[in-house]
Structure 1
Amino acid sequence: MARGGINKALVQKARQVILTRGENPSIDAVRVELGNTGSKTTIHRYLKEIEEAERGRQTAPSLSEQLGNLVSLLAEQLREEAQAAVAQEREQLALERLDYQDQIRQAESRIEQLEGQSSTLGEQLNAAQQTLQHEQQKCQQVELENARLAQANADLEMRLIDRDSQIASLEDKHEHARDALEHYRQASKDQREQDQRRHEAQVQQLQVELRQLRQTLIIKQDELTQLNRDNARLLTEARQMQKDQRAQEQHLTQKTQALEIARSTLTGMERTNDALEQRCRALQDEVARLGEATDAQAQRAQGLQERLSEALAQLKLLRHAPPAVPGNASSP
């Protein structure tokens, strides 16, 4: 803590020590004795007041003057000590206030940083939610595509059944035609052979179409299998994104709790600052009370000086009063 300064009593004490050593109490000597503190102007003023007081005492001052000087010196010393104490307290309070203001600024900076992190995490969470919605939409589209392919597969199976029915019907017709040709072999041999060739061509064509339909069905089944695999992969990615989202939400909760703790710390600092301001006001009231006490002591000293003057006046009257003559007093 910084020193509160010098006063007249310290200067007088240092001057007396220098005189005791038999040295000249100059301004520099007194300042060295005080520990190289205080301005030379102040030391010079105090030395001048002390020397004038001593010259006044050397001219045989009265008792009332000595008492007044003593009371004035004590009052001056008391006021200077009180002012020095108040100055020290004010300086300490100023240092403490600066310290708390630095802490408050650091807390505000930390709060701004946490709020920025919270905003960033919120943006990341929104982006993750949008990505999850997009993936869900893709999953829905894949499911719709699977349903469409399943319907197409069912349609192909129905077409195969129709083709099989047509082939069976043609085979039946062929049997009937062959039976009929047996009856008319001799009469319509050429016609029968022509019909048989046409029928065989149709059968071959139908067989070719059947093979093509079966190959198409195999391809569609492979595509359906691949789509099922993609759907499983997308579901796995969606679950992983949900886990990441929950982790980000927990991290955001931790950041929010840290922000609440910082805000509580800031509230405590504000309360401490209010307490320091109340203490400062109390010290100011104490300074005012000390000033009033000093004024009261000065009034008491003035009253004592007046009473002493009256006592000295009565003493002078008693000294100058004529002595009583024996025998002149009337007998009772």
Structure 2
Amino acid sequence: MAARNITHVNEFTLLGFSDIPKFQGLLFGIFLVIYLSIITGNTLIIIITKADPALQTPMYYFLRNFSFLEICWTSVTIPRMLINLWTKNRNISFLACAAQVCLILDLGVSECLLLAAMAYDRYVAICKPLYYLFIMNHKICVQLVAGAWIIGIPVVLGQTYQVFSLPFCGSTKLNHIFCEIYPIMQLICGDTSMSEIFIYADVVLFGIVPFLLICGSYVKIIFTILKLPSAVGKSKAFSTCSSHLMVVGLFFGSSIIVYLSPKSSHSAGTDKILSLFYTTLTPLCNPMIYSLRNKDFIVTLRKLCSKCARTENK
């Protein structure tokens, strides 16, 4: 009987926001504006930090890579959501769904590791300022960024293959806004406990460990800042670190809840909201958080704007 119920899957159906059909057009407009804002804001960060020689420091090198990662992250999910909302065709092929799951997991791992590298950079800059340029040399920065991008690939590929090689049965409708590993697992026949164990292990290795390293770095940073004799120095140090901490809180807060909570406790509505949080809200807020709280960035932006204005007047 179990064998008869196994379904040969060629495609899945992403239900997304189909439960609110009257708002499809409105949602399309909202997500289109959000996506364009994410692309514009993060691209602006890349251009500005690359154009000004004064911003050729390790901190801005990591920030450029982080902004590029955010563009990639949203480009994996939002365009597909926009297509579904516009065409009302919510079908996605088996391979496209597997590729989306793989990319989401891999980019999530890269974001965790890159945020940890950025925290380490701030730790060295504040706690060991005399050795900063020696420790955070260009070679080390490139290695940290390359590691963040590459290190999770084999694990994520293995995880994705393991989940999608399991038998599916019954419905192929995913009550989610994009292909994600837990909604996929709800369609799998039989015991998925081994897959869940591997997912939890990956979350601990690539999520919890970087998060604890970030927390440890900032505990030492805060103690060092409190020892600074100058109130101006304290204010500048706190301002530099607070933007990074806000991004860490937004990203890790929502993603850890999704991936560490038991599968039985997952509700479609809550998962949709939390997924939107770490795939859409965080990339949208990052440019504002980093630019509005960074005086060097604002000064460079004003310089570029004044140059553009002078060019147009000529």
Q: TM-score, normalised by structure 1?
A: 0.21
Q: Which has the higher contact order (CA 8 A, sep 6+)?
A: 1
Specify which structure has the higher proportion of strand: 2
